[in-house]
Chains A and B, each alone.
Chain A
Amino acid sequence: MGTPLLRVEDVGKNFGGLSALSNITFDIGDDEMVGLIGPNGAGKSTLIRIITSVLKPTYGTVKFKSRDITGLPISDIVNMGIASTAQIVKPFRRLPVISNAMVSCLCPRIRRTGDWVKSVELRARDALEFCGIADLALESASVLSHGDLKRLELARAIATEPELLLLDEPFGGLNQAETTLIAKSLRRLHKGGRFGRLHSEGPSMLIVEHKLADLMKIVDRVIVIDLGRIIAVGTPEEIVRNREVVKAYIGKEEGQLVS
């Protein structure tokens, strides 16, 4: 096996006295969809924020394509090909939805691809289309529902045409039908191809999600963390049967993780 796309090596994070993550080590392969699950407060969001350099780890390194990216500026990391969505949405509130996505199309990574001056609007619109919010393009982001903001967050991330996509609860605020739709779209995005003007190289993904039934359908592998430590890694089938995972989730040994 060659070098993995992303390698997280012995990463830990302390907030004051609280140890939010300790000794986290895992890889994400070149063409992989990985689920990251764990109870509330397990440290999932913190882990994503460390990979994208929003937070600095207390110790450990993050490598992307075998290059150490720990502590690089956020924008550099995005331009190398890592895009992410946040659990708590942070749109550009007073700008129209389409402009929100256009900002992502202005980054050097996209500008390198050529005819960007003219295609910024079209590209942004295709990203919105992909996420199913193209009809809201001209509305101000401040009037969107939480589910739509989640999808805008996703649109902004995929507009940078990443090679690695980190999603923090992408299905939050969506109803079942919308969740199924987005889950399918993510699967399609992962296969790669062109979506209008948007080009997808088939990014690897790391997806944090609480809607386990939907998540398990689209990922190849699942990493489970609890109290800042990895407690299990395996295929979705293995994970739903894993005693320890079930215990961490519902507090007792018996029970069904995914109904």
Chain B
Amino acid sequence: MDVISHFRQESRTYAALGFVAICVIVLPVVIDSIWVKVLTSAVIFTLAAYGISLLYSQLGLVNLSQVALIGVGGWIMLRLNYAVQLPFELNLLVSAVITAFIGMILALPAMRMKGLYLALITLMVAGGFQIIFSAIQFPNGGAGFLGVALQSPGEMRRPLIAESDTAYLRYSIIVVVLGVMLAAAHNRGRPGRAWAMIRKSEANAMAAGVNVTLYKLWCFTLSGFLAGVSGGLLAGALKILDAKSFPAGESILLFALSIVGGVGHWMGAVIAGFLYRVVPAIFNNIGIDADLSLVIFGAALLHAIMTAPNGIAGQLSSLFQSLGRQNK
């Protein structure tokens, strides 16, 4: 690497570190309690958005089931919380691993598909989870495997070092940064090289000895892992989860915002999380209907698609058109 690009790399790293430091140290102090909650969930959704971004930027794969997988992670986290007396971190890890596994299984039939067809399959998966969630609800400490009671008899525990909302915001930021670093390490290493080659040409990747199916699954699994961590963190943040919070439409929205935010860079995911959670809250706060944010997101998406550098734009816009018609 020459000196200049090395310097650029370093300054980028410092910029990222600076950004994180501001978030961890300054933000929780200067904002009041409502905004701490809003920001916490923005941070949490950032990680899930990064999973979407990973699949899309590395392999060009559209994942419209990420919010559903967040729900899965959250469900497992709550389930574990009431079933076992293990530390928060361990439950979080187990939730993420199981979610990753479920994400992988769901990706299996989609392996041979691309573009619009894959997107539609993932959307069907999201729709499936929407139905499952409303049927089984989220555990709140009740009896039995589903653990649902009319009134919550228990409480979702938080990590010992992060009981308060402010501390939990800091905690979430750190976990999300670790998650993003995990994915970034993949990008820089062997999987990233294989993904880049697959994206260029599956045939060429195979000819170079890359197990294309395995690496595609790996990317889905990693993305599912990040969704699982998000879900677990969300369970800790909100303490109860509502089945109505994870409809298929939210997955589409988060995907769209990830595109708007910009795929392939952590900042894009941060923007996506911010747009997804903070913008509607701001609108609420100043007395504008939060649904108006959808109009703005739509315009932003249109802009992103029209100026998108890679040619999936046409595909996506027709996808969203057909989805729009379905929702009517």
| Chain B associates with chain A | no
